[in-house]
Amino acid sequence: MRLFSIFFPFIFGNEICKKKLIKGEDCVQDFHSLGQFTTAFPWSYQADAFTRDPKAHRFPCTVDSPTSHNVKMRIFNHNHQLVANHVTFSINSDSVHLMNDVHWHRNSTTVILVHGWNSRVIEEDEELSNQGKLFVDEMLKQKANVNIVLLDWSEKANDLKYWLPATNTQVVGALLGEFIKNLIDAEMNTIGDFHLAGHSLGAHICGYAAKWLKTRTDGKLPRISALDPAGPMFQFLDDPALNVC
């Protein structure tokens, strides 16, 4: 019975949100250790460009279960370079155990790149995108003993209904935060080792990862590079009540 109670919201969460949306209600999903996620403001809403009313338009957003995102990571370092071996795995609670397979550089700079909306870093044929190749090449040239992680959430990011991946940046951010915390707990890294870089919606994923970590660790991520962060549905996050980081 306990097993069923754990997975029930992961399986049926999307349907619960859909029923609430039909009634015009906001949805809050509890994904246990990852936390609670909501479709309340600013999610599901788009501001009016002229009146600046932040709740002028509402979209049918849902918070999708962590497992449905199929988030993948590919790792590179000087032991596993772009032209040689690489390791791809789905992000989950067991991911950290794979670090020994790639000769992870312990307590070294770890740079994580997160792509944005309607994009990917791992192509459908499992090859790296041009963006991914350039990033890995440059990082390997600039730093010794660096760990490079490419996070791919393209299964949800490549939805033309922009408001759906935008709402779910909070879930992907929590998954990334959990991955980083697992590395810290396993003494593979300290929080000061990490540099997150995100483009478009990926910038917000990095922000949510930082927020998730801030409430669950003693430290604070030292650096986030937000590359052309997405605007729609995020315009009013400068409100202190909605502050991401």
For the chain, give every domain's residue range: 67-229
Question: What average pLDDT score do residues 214-230 get?
Answer: 93
Phi/psi region, residue 190 (left: phi>0; alpha: psi -120 to 50; beta: rest), is: beta
* DSSP-assigned beta bridge partners for residue 147: 110
| pLDDT over 60 (residue 83) | no
pLDDT for position 236: 62
Burial class (CB within 10 angstroms; exposed 0-12, middle 13-18, buried 19+) of 140:
middle
Q: What is the identity of the amino acid at 17?
A: C
Query: What gap in Å lies between CA 69 and CA 87, rounded to an integer?
Result: 19
Q: Are 198 and 172 in contact (CB under 8 A)?
A: no
Taking the C-alpha atoms of residue 37 and residue 154, their distance in angstroms, rounded to an integer, is 20
> What is the band of 19 on the pLDDT scale with cuts at 50, 70, 90?
low
Under a CB-based contact definition with an 8 Å cutoff, are residues 82 and 137 in contact? yes
Q: Quote the tokens at residue 23.
A: 């009634």
pLDDT band at 95 (very low <50, low <70, confident <90, very high): low
CB of 136 within 8 A of CB of 78? no
Q: For 31-45, what is the mean pLDDT?
A: 83
Most confident of 44-58, 59-73, 154-168, 193-207: 193-207
Residue 85 has pLDDT above 60, yes or no: no
Q: Where is pLDDT greater, at 131 or 23?
A: 131
Q: Which residue has the higher pLDDT, 12 or 124?
A: 124
Phi, psi of 74 (to 5 degrees): -125, 135
Beta bridge partners of 194: 110
CA distances 207 to 115, 159, 197, 202, Å, are 13, 21, 10, 9
* 102 — pLDDT class (breaks 50, 70, 90): low
Whether pTM > 0.85 for this model: the answer is no
Nearest-CA neighbor of 156 among 62, 234, 235, 226? 62
Displacement of CA 188 from its chain's centroid (Å): 20
More confident residue, 119 or 8: 119
- What mean pLDDT, rounded, does the chain reach? 80
Top pLDDT among 226 and 81 is at: 226
Report the alpha-carbon distance of residue 173 to residue 108 in Å, rounded.
22
Q: DSSP letter for 227, please.
A: E
In this structure, the number of other CB atoms found within 10 A of the CB of residue 212 comes to: 21
From CA 205, how far away is CA 215, in angstroms rounded? 16
| pLDDT of the residue at 38 | 84
The CATH number of domain 67-229, selected from 3.40.50.10490, 3.40.50.1820, 3.30.56.10, 3.40.50.300: 3.40.50.1820
Token reading at 211? 């927020």
Distance CA 220, CA 210 (A): 7
Least confident of 53-57, 144-148, 166-170, 235-239: 235-239
Residue 231 is predicted with a pLDDT of 87
